[in-house]
Every structure is written in structure tokens, then in C-alpha cells.
Chain A
């Protein structure tokens, strides 16, 4: 195949004459030219889909996203519009935008993450925990289009978990994780004591871990039933 192309193509190049300078073909087989045409059409379709998807997302989400950011993170700096724009740019830069299952959720996630980037205590904690787990060759999965796709069941389960938590537990979890607040900041906003906040967080997380164990035990039991 490789040789074939070489013979057909490269050797026909004739570097002579003024007019025939552009007369250079690598693929003179007609059938091949049509195949290429189709491939380039496919590429165009993909690009059009991507542009379309981003435009659609922009139309349907821009105002909501800015409003949501403003009410959670204030007027900045960075301004909500700048955070939103940078989130759009990040999504546009992804190769596989079309594969994102829920572009709206992904967009809000990127924007919310950017809004709290630079919160010192939060970033320091994450860095420290990652380092500790690395000693055991363990890694925490960060959100990406692939992960959203591969771990969709797990992520759906987390959303359910959140809904099932008690209101105060949920509030503490969301303030800490999404708003990037430390316990002192949560305390200032809610009036709860830091030890109460800590209790809510611990009970939320213990519940989650127990639920996880239970569902695993269920699976094991089902497995045994199937075996016998």
C-alpha cells in the first residue's frame, strides 16, 4: 500500500516549467480523490456540530450562568462574566465537546471551579491530600469529559446522595465543596459553631460510606444467590 502510493504519486512530480509547477499530484487515482472528499466533508460536519453546540450552549446558558455565579461568588473580581467567558473558552478548546453528556453541567462545573481557584486553604488541602494518596499509588479522579462518561453511574449516585442528605448536612457539604468556604466562613454565614459544622460534615460523610458498604454487600449477596 505504502509502496503503491509512492509509485503513483511521488514520482510523477515534475519540477520543471513555469506553468506546470503546481501540477503536482500525490493521489492521481480518481477513486481515492472521492474518498478524501468524503473525509473532508465529515470533518466539516464535526466542526459545524461543535460550533452549533457551543452557540446553542451560549444562548441557553450564558445569562443563567452569570446570574448563578454572581449570587454565589459576588461581583468579583474576577467578574462573573469573565469567569463565564473563560469557562466557555475552555469548553470550546476541548477536542471532544460533542461527547460531553451534559454540557450545561460541565460548563457550570468548570465555572464554579474557576471561581474558587486561588482560595488558599482549599487548594493547600487538596494538594496535601493528593500527595498523601500518591504515596500509596492512589489518585483521585478529577472531572473531565472522559470521566463524566466513564463514571456516569457513580456521578449520578453522588447527585442522589446529595439529595438524600439532611438539609444542614447538604448545606455544609455544598458550602465547603462548591463555594470553597472553610469552617470559619461557613460559621460566619450560618451562625453555626465550627464544631457543629464539623459534626454535620462527618455525619454526612459517614452516611455516604455506610451506604456504599451496604450497596456493595447487596451486590455480593446477589452474586451469591446467582452462584447457588
Chain B
């Protein structure tokens, strides 16, 4: 073992009466950067002397670590952290004086555009370790992402996902909204997308996942995926009750909040994936669904004030930047009245049809 400094400190003595003073000596010694292998051996012996020794040491070590936060918790304390003379001097490299401005601009732009972030952190757990990356798109904006494995994702408006990649799997948690995946093949690491109580397992394919408040829709455009329901921890499920459903290109399923998967149906790719080209297209879809979708592209959200209205069937095609067309269409063709305020749009049934 090498010690960074020229010489080690004197090793603290052991086995006296005053455990507090000894614990303090050891903590100071171990954090000095001037400890030695022999000193560490002594420390390990000292710790074993009694429970009082280990507990007292834990107490002071915890205090020392907590100083990291406590010293930041008030301005007075933050300012009392000494400035480092050797480091505050002007840098010999003038290049650096211009760089910080670039960073500030970058940061400002990121926030001006809303919360479009891709944050990578390492995570370690009992079971596995890997990278965890968080992606979020702003209301009304799609976001194209290339994941670490080369797969690409197009995130719809107001959508967030977390990508957890480890040695043996690529796990995506679609937290909200919609995403279209083009997965690069990797037979060693299955690609799994999770939404509500449902998982989509893939080995290399392209598909769309739309997580709504009441269900998840999975639609495949290329290759093959397996849709698996994940039982809730507290739910009693009979083994084999929810078998995996296999989807081929052109097929879709819906899974409800319990992970129950509908029968497989066909879909039309041009309509379903129109959002990727900046259009929202619906053919005979429930109004409540359309509104939930459209709201991901709007700052001023639309709400339905009357439950009966959610059953209205809508057929419409509009650019995702012009979702007001839905409102003008509704006003023309349906018995609704629409109240617009600066921060909300409320749709209710017109008086004459209140015989539900």
C-alpha cells in the first residue's frame, strides 16, 4: 500500500478508558491522508474491543459524513468553507475564460425549451449494476433519442422514460406518454419496455407504445414482440392465467391497468404512427382518449366536464401543432359548449341534450 504523503502520522493508541477521545483520534487519523497499513491493522483491532468502540466510531464517522450536507445548509456555513488560494488564481490558460459562457448558454437553452433532459447516472443495487438514463420531452415536442445500445426512440409530447441498461438486459420504463422504438438486435440482452402492469419483450424490432391513464396500447410495425403482464405485488394471480401474447407486424393489443391483455387486432400504420410525422390522426376513437392524447401537445389543457361526452366517437386528422381544430370540429358537429379561459378549456354538454 502506498501513502500519498511523505510520512505517516503517529498511530493512535488503543485500549484506554476514554472511548470518545480514542474514536476521535482514529477518525482524525483515517481521514488525514497520512495513515499507514500498520495503523489500519491497529484500527481494526481497536474496533473489535467492544460494542461501545464500534458504536462510538460509527457515531463520529456519521457526524463527519453529515458535515458534507450540514456545511451546505446555510449561507453562513457555505461561506465559511475556506477558499483555496492555490486554485482561485487566474488560470494560465485563457481558453477557459471563454468556455464557462458556453456552458451557461447551453444550460439556459435547455431550460428555456422546457424540461428536455437526458441524464445518465450509474446505479448499483443488490441485484445488478448498470446505467440509468432519464429522458423527458416537453409538451408539444417530440424528441428523437439514440440509446446506448444503438436503438432509437422517438418520444411523443409530454413523455418520459427511464432506460436502465445492465449487462443482461435493456429495460425501459415508459413513465408517461408515447414512444416509438426501433430496437437494435442483441440476443444476449433482451429489450423490455414496461408500462403500467405490462411488459413488452423484444429481441430486435420496431413498435409503438402509448401509455394512457386507463391502459397501454402496443402496436408492432416490424419484427415480433411478446406482451407479458406483470402481476402486482399484492395481487393474487393464478399461474399461467396471463399468458404472453405474441404480436406480429400490423398487430396491436391493449392492456388495462391490471395487465390484462385484449385480443389481438389489426391497425393501420399510417394513422397510428402519424404522430411521428407531426400529425395526430383518429378514426372513430373515443373523445376521452383523443383528449388525453392531444393534451400532450397542448399547454392549455382540455378537460371534459361531462362523463357522457367521453363516449363520443371522433374521426379527425390535424397537425399536432394545431390541436385547436379538434375544438372547432366538436363545436360544429357535437352538442357541446366550450368554455375557454387563459389556462383551461372545458367542454360540457349543451343544455338541450341533458337527458342522459
Contacts and interface: CB of A to CB of B under 8 A. Distances in A.
A109 interface: yes
A215 interface: no
A132 B43 contact: yes
Given A178-B67, A201-B27, 6 more contacts: A5-B260, A47-B160, A177-B64, A184-B4, A194-B32, A201-B24
B186 interface: no
A9 B286 CA distance: 14
B85 interface: yes
Interface stretch (B145-153, B307-315, B323-331): B307-315
Interface of B: 4-6, 9, 20-21, 23-25, 27-35, 40, 43-44, 47, 54-74, 76-78, 80-88, 91, 96, 99-100, 103-104, 106-107, 111, 114-115, 117, 119, 121, 132, 134, 158, 160, 176, 212-215, 235, 254, 256, 258, 260-268, 271-272, 282-286, 288, 291-292, 295, 301, 303-304, 307-308, 310-311, 313
B262 A212 contact: no
27 contacts: A9-B260, A13-B262, A15-B263, A22-B282, A26-B256, A30-B310, A37-B291, A44-B158, A47-B160, A71-B84, A74-B86, A89-B119, A93-B121, A109-B72, A125-B30, A125-B31, A140-B61, A142-B65, A158-B66, A159-B71, A177-B65, A178-B67, A182-B4, A206-B24, A209-B20, A209-B60, A213-B20
A33 B24 CA distance: 62
Given A183-B33, A198-B32, A47 B158 contact: yes
B92 to A, nearest CB: 10
Contacts of B87: 72-75
Contacts, number: 326
A213 B70 CA distance: 20
Interface string A161-181: 111000000110111111100
Contact of A105 (B60, B69, B84): B69
Nearest to A144: B69
B9 A183 contact: yes
Given A33-B307, A108-B72, A128-B40, A75 B91 contact: yes
